[in-house]
Amino acid sequence: MHRCDEGVLAIDDQSDPVTIVLGLKEVRKAAHNWKLFQSGAKPGRIVVPSEVAIRDIRQIPFEVDPPAHKGFRTLLEPWFKRPLEDSYQARLNSIVSDMLDSLLTNSNTYTEAVNEIALVVQSQALTTLLNVPFAEAATWISWGTHVFRSDDNPLDAGKANVLYDYLDKQIAKAKQVPGKDIYSQLLAAEVEGKALTDEEIKGIMVLTFAGGRDTVINALTNTLAYFSENKDDLALLRTQPELVNNAVEELIRYFSPLTHMGRVATADGEVNGHQVENDTRISLCWASANRDENVFENPNLVDLTRKTNPHVAFGFGIHNCLGATHARALLRIWILQLTQRVSAIEVGQYEENIEIWGDVKRKVGFHSLNVRLHKL
């Protein structure tokens, strides 16, 4: 076990070596040290695997360091806290309810959960976050589960251009007819007394589309798979719905939909006693940190009653995930409705999505997962 033995894992990512930091304490410490380990490197480089070859737009505020980071974060936080509002949650409830209506009506046939359930729910929920017409979800669904990476070629920049062209059109439309959507809000906003450029708005929107796509899809499908094998936990939450917030945090910890995120060293330094050279990359491995046996009792087991849960599935420090409030709200509603309406989840054929880094393999989610849901 690398986490116990060395505390780091050395990997190669497209001929750019990365030191993966594994323990929770060390991950948090490195994430906090933004002066040594920067996010504002070349656009795409802090992502693991690197996106340098497929994009040159800086994702904001994700790839911006202080002091500039604070202005963007201050601007965006109120918008991304809207999922706490009752009206917002009512829209999410309606989206989830409609999906379950369809699935429970057709409980005699299997439905492919990644593309026909999770991608659909994620895209429809995103219309609420962006405050755009519900019909926009159909376009996003047509892109598939990845926004930047083609399924057959992860270095194909053509896929990213589809998103860029789409954003150009949405920004142009908002300039002509301003509304209450996120594009119009950003066009009317200022950071440190300056209006945002189109490039900055695109950087914010690229992050919004990319950051909450695979992660939410993985969270929804992994939850279906988990409850298919753990009916007692489904029943527990049915009788004790007050545990749903615990369940959300525990399932997020256990599955860690985003494995890791990189940083670039601004000088020679060290992580967990290992030397890191200037301009080399480290990776903050959220997934490993969330299974740290020095912090979590029985870390490889799901415990929906776990009380102490300092997981870092949404990141840590100044770059903690802006979309976490939205993701938590959606997953909470998803789990509550499953417990209230579904007696059992049956899994048919499936193909797991396995990440491989060196000699370490990690199940992220599924490429495909066929399910049948049965009424309560």
Cβ(167)–Cβ(130) below 8 Å: no
| pLDDT surpasses 70 at 149 | no
* pLDDT for 4: 61
Cβ(123)–Cβ(116) below 8 Å: no
| pLDDT surpasses 70 at 43 | yes
CA distance 291 to 301: 9
**Percentage above 70 pLDDT, the chain:** 96
Residue 353 DSSP SS3:
strand
Whether this model's pTM surpasses 0.85: yes
| pLDDT surpasses 60 at 1 | no
pLDDT band at 147 (very low <50, low <70, confident <90, very high): confident
Q: Count of CB atoms within 10 A of residue 192's CB?
A: 11
Q: What is the average pLDDT value for the chain, to the nearest integer?
A: 94
| pLDDT surpasses 70 at 155 | no
| pLDDT surpasses 70 at 339 | yes
Cβ(253)–Cβ(303) below 8 Å: no
Model confidence over 233-284: pLDDT tens digits? 999 999 999 999 999 999 999 999 999 999 999 999 999 889 999 999 999 9
Burial class (CB in 10 A: 0-12, 13-18, 19+), 273: exposed
CA distance 86 to 73: 24
| pLDDT surpasses 70 at 157 | no
- Interval 22-44 mean pLDDT: 96
Cβ(96)–Cβ(337) below 8 Å: yes
| pLDDT surpasses 90 at 132 | yes
Tokens of 60: 């904001």
The DSSP result for 64-76, as a single string, is --TTHHHHHHHHH
The DSSP result for 244-275, as a single string, is HHHHHHHHHHHH-SS--EEEEESSSEEETTEE
CA distance 108 to 69: 51
* pLDDT for 94: 98
Tokens of 58: 């800086």
Cβ(254)–Cβ(364) below 8 Å: no
